[in-house]
């Protein structure tokens, strides 16, 4: 199941379905927004010694290392506040690698919190991921975006003006 920028869309899926539709159509959020800029800075300045950014078709992996004979794929995030989104995004990267015959383990990296969380692509997580991908496909096939639904993330969202003006 190929969805352009699927990793990013999976991230947004667990925050706001409207963002999935907007991002799928290349309607990008305000790039000068404080949180967008902070995320970019964290991505560029953390894990420099271990960073090996990998572009694999439509997937961009933040960190890939070999530790104790195992391939370790890392996804760097600003905060563990969105741990479900981050977990599913990393699960997708592990799934893509698995489809290519590469067995890897995942780790979520939260540098500001000095925290690491292991992600294992087991059967349950893979089935959940496939269901999410099917739902994302349904969302992006719609002619109009889902209506905005207020949630706790709206206040700091880079799409706020688009949704609530």
Q: In this predicted model, what pLDDT tens digit does every residue of 27-64 receive, in sequence order?
A: 877 655 455 455 554 555 555 555 556 677 778 887 88
What is the tens place of the pLDDT at every residue in 66-96?
A: 878 888 899 988 888 889 999 999 999 999 9
pLDDT value of position 95: 95
Q: Rounded CA gap, 7 and 23, in Å?
A: 11
CA distance between the termini of the chain: 35
CB 78 within 8 Å of CB 108 = no
pLDDT above 90: residue 126: yes
Three-state SS string across 51-102, please?
A: CCCEEECCEEECEEEEECCEEEEEEECCCHHHHHHHHHHHHHHHHHHHHCCC
Phi first, then psi: give them for residue 47, nearest 5 degrees.
Answer: 55, 40
Percent of the chain whose pLDDT exceeds 70: 83
- Give this prediction's pTM: 0.81
The long-range contacts involving 56-65, CB below 8 angstroms and separated by at least 24 positions, are 56/96, 56/97, 56/100, 57/96, 58/2, 58/3, 58/4, 58/5, 58/6, 58/7, 59/6, 59/7, 59/92, 59/93, 59/96, 60/7, 61/93, 62/109, 63/109, 64/104
Q: What is the pLDDT of residue 81?
A: 87
More confidently predicted of 32 and 139: 139
For the stretch 1-11, pLDDT in tens is: 568 788 989 99
Distance CA 91, CA 96 (A): 9
Q: Where are the domains of the chain?
A: 6-164
User: Has domain 6-164 been given CATH number 3.20.20.10?
Assistant: no
Q: Is the dihedral of CA 35, 41, 42, 44 positive or negative?
A: positive
């Amino acid at each position: 199941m190929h969805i352009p920028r699927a990793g990013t869309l999976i991230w947004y899926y667990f925050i706001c379905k409207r963002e999935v539709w907007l991002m799928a159509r290349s309607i990008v959020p305000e790039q000068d927004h404080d949180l967008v800029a902070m995320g970019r800075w964290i991505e560029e300045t953390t894990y420099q010694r271990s960073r090996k950014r990998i572009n694999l078709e439509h997937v961009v992996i933040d960190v890939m290392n070999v530790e104790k004979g195992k391939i370790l794929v890392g996804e760097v995030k600003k905060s563990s506040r969105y741990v479900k989104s981050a977990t599913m995004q990393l699960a997708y990267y592990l799934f893509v690698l698995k489809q290519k015959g590469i067995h890897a383990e995942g780790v979520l990296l939260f540098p500001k919190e000095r925290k690491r969380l292991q992600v294992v692509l087991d059967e349950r997580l893979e089935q959940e991921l496939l269901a999410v991908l099917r739902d994302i496909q349904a969302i992006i096939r719609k002619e109009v975006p889902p209506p905005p639904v207020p949630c706790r993330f709206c206040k700091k969202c880079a799409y706020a003006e688009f949704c609530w003006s």
